[in-house]
Amino acid sequence: MNLAYKDIRHSFGRFALTAVGIGMLLMIVMGMGGIYRGIEGDATLLINSIGTDIWIVQRDTRGPFAEVSRVPTNLVDRASTVPGVATAREFVYHTIQREHAGKSLRMSVLGLSWPTDKGDWLPLVAGRTLRQNHYEMIADKSVGLYLGERCKLGKDTYTVVGITANMISSSGDGIIAVTVDDAQAIQFDTTGEAVRLERAARAARGVRSELVAKQPSMLDFADRPANELPALARPQVSAVMVRVAPGADAQAVSDIIAGWGDVSIFSQQSQRDLLIKGTVDRARRQIGLIRVLLTGVAAIVMALILYTLTLDKIHSIALLKLIGAPNTVILGLILQQALFLGVLGYVIAYFLGQKIFPNFPRRVILVNTDLIQLAGIVLIISVASSLLGIWKALRVSPNEAIG
């Protein structure tokens, strides 16, 4: 006869309610770990998926994912001439928020270097990749756009030709992919009134300019669009991505580019480390602190419940001692209940999480190593929580059964 099983059946309602409460606490602890894994996965998703060996960014910056980076487009041609470079392509990345169909859309815009990059590496779940240089986009399903929908961004209207899944930025926004030219058009879009005022300001500056006084015909350019002014360079890009040719020495290529005075370089791993240690580190520490606090709360709740259950069995424990039952029987009763409570709570937490976590606004990624670690912690706190009840049971006198 198992005394722990008999006692659980006797007070099944209280025990079941306690197990559900412990399970919900452990589910939150489990979810916190999954949220951190999701943040880490979202932060490094684009870096891992895009497939490049070297990132060339603005000098003394940490790259487009950590801060603003601006490099000229001719850097692509410069990088292509370096021995050992297979391909060099532009990278444009920024976040926007627009109104569409009566709702607010917040998304990260990724510029694909057309026609070298048509989005073949994107995890499409519907539709196709880009087939033309303008007015097509691939959108993650979290953005809220459907296949074939037309969405106006800036002055142009784009058609959704592909849908991806789990292409999320480090801030949790869905990613849309367009060509580099379209991404820059969206980024530098200006209202008509702002364009008119800028052209008027150019004309005013031209009138005061000594150069225009010598060459009055230059003032005719004041009313032309900014991208047609001969004195202005093309819009800059966020970074240049370099893929090293098979068999080439990546370190040698990096050393050559690192010698240029206007840029900084990062490998794929170093760019990933910068994101994890920078953007993700504070979230990791905060989530870790919350996990520790919740685990402590779960341990305290379990200890109090087991102590209360022990108090309810004081007369029964005294009677067991009176008839000569060894202390190991009593200790086994309390310890088995504690372990069963912890295991049941963990099982409830896992299955509840499987139903609830997919509905969270951010991705929750449950990793086997985290689940095993939490299971070990649950076993430890189950044993530790039983100590208070064991201490009380050992102090019970057999005479209390008679009294």
302 and 228 within one domain: no
pLDDT of residue 228: 52
Which structure tokens are listed for 3? 């005394």
What's the pLDDT tens digit per position in 245-270? 888 888 888 888 888 888 888 888 88
Please indicate, yes or no, if residue 273 is contained in any of the structural domains. Answer: no
197 and 55 within one domain: yes
What's the pLDDT tens digit per position in 76-93? 888 888 888 888 888 888
Instruction: Average the pLDDT over 24-44 and give the result.
Output: 84
| High-pLDDT (> 70) share of the chain, % | 79
In this predicted structure, the answer to whether residue 198 has a pLDDT above a threshold of 70 is no
164 and 148 within one domain: yes
Please indicate, yes or no, if residue 138 is contained in any of the structural domains. Answer: yes
Please indicate, yes or no, if residue 275 is contained in any of the structural domains. Answer: no
169 and 258 within one domain: yes
- Quote the domain boundaries for residue 136: 49-268
Last residue of a domain, one of 268, 293, 319: 268
Last residue of a domain, one of 268, 299, 325: 268
In this predicted structure, the answer to whether residue 223 has a pLDDT above a threshold of 60 is no
264 and 159 within one domain: yes
Short-list 94, 111, 73, 68, CA closest to 236? 73
91 and 37 within one domain: no
Q: Which of 122-131, 350-359, 361-370 has the lowest mean pLDDT?
A: 361-370
What span, in angstroms and rounded, lies between the C-alpha atoms of 63 and 188? 20
Of the segments 140-154, 201-215, 384-398, which one has the largest average pLDDT value? 140-154
What span, in angstroms and rounded, lies between the C-alpha atoms of 159 and 174? 16
Instruction: Average the pLDDT over 209-228 and give the result.
Output: 55
What total number of domains does the chain contain? Answer: 2
| High-pLDDT (> 90) share of the chain, % | 5
Is-above-0.85 flag for pTM? no
What is the DSSP code (8-state) at residue 304?
Answer: H
Please indicate, yes or no, if residue 112 is contained in any of the structural domains. Answer: yes
Residue 99 CA neighbour count, 13 Å, CB half: 1
Q: What's the whole-number average pLDDT of the chain?
A: 79
Please indicate, yes or no, if residue 300 is contained in any of the structural domains. Answer: yes
